[in-house]
């Protein structure tokens, strides 16, 4: 089951056309990944302090399906689709909550992404192995 995180759309998220600026989906996805890791006991700051390592985005593939607009309520998801010793691919979606669409009974897909993140040593930014405790938690 994918982690879910709520987002409300504010003026600052929209462009001149009144829809969510395309790059803001990257922010929503980043926040959801951070909250997902925190929810399983791995805060970004704590991981860096305790292990000397951190995740960095190494690739992003996004597809836009429908626009989100001011005041919309979204559900942003995150789920591991591939796991290696030094990187993960996270499948993410931005969904419009059903209550936003009068006729919809299930969330409407707005944007989907495959985000690849790699583990690096924070001091050198060189690739490194993801800590075993984190890999174990992600596997369960």
Q: Which residues form the catalytic set?
A: 15
Which stretch of DSSP H or E encloses residue 63? strand 53-64
CB-based contact 90:35 (threshold 8 Å) = no
Instruction: Give residues with Cβ within 8 angstroms of 55, minimum separation 6.
Output: 44, 88, 117, 118, 119, 120
Radius of gyration over alpha carbons of the chain, in Å?
16
CB-based contact 65:110 (threshold 8 Å) = yes
Instruction: Give residues with Cβ within 8 angstroms of 65, minimum separation 6.
Output: 109, 110, 111, 112
């Amino acid at each position: 089951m994918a982690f879910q995180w709520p987002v409300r759309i504010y003026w600052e998220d929209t462009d001149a056309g009144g829809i969510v600026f395309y790059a803001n989906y990257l922010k929503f996805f980043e926040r959801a990944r951070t909250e997902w890791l925190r929810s399983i006991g791995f805060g970004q700051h704590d991981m860096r302090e305790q292990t000397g390592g951190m995740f960095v985005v190494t690739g992003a593939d996004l597809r836009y399906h429908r626009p989100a607009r001011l005041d919309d309520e979204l559900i942003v998801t995150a789920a591991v689709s591939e796991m290696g010793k030094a990187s993960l691919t996270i499948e993410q979606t931005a969904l419009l909550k059903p209550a936003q669409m009068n006729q919809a009974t299930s969330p409407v897909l707005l944007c989907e992404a495959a985000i690849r993140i790699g583990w690096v040593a924070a001091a050198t930014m060189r690739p490194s192995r993801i800590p075993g405790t984190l890999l174990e938690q992600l596997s369960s």
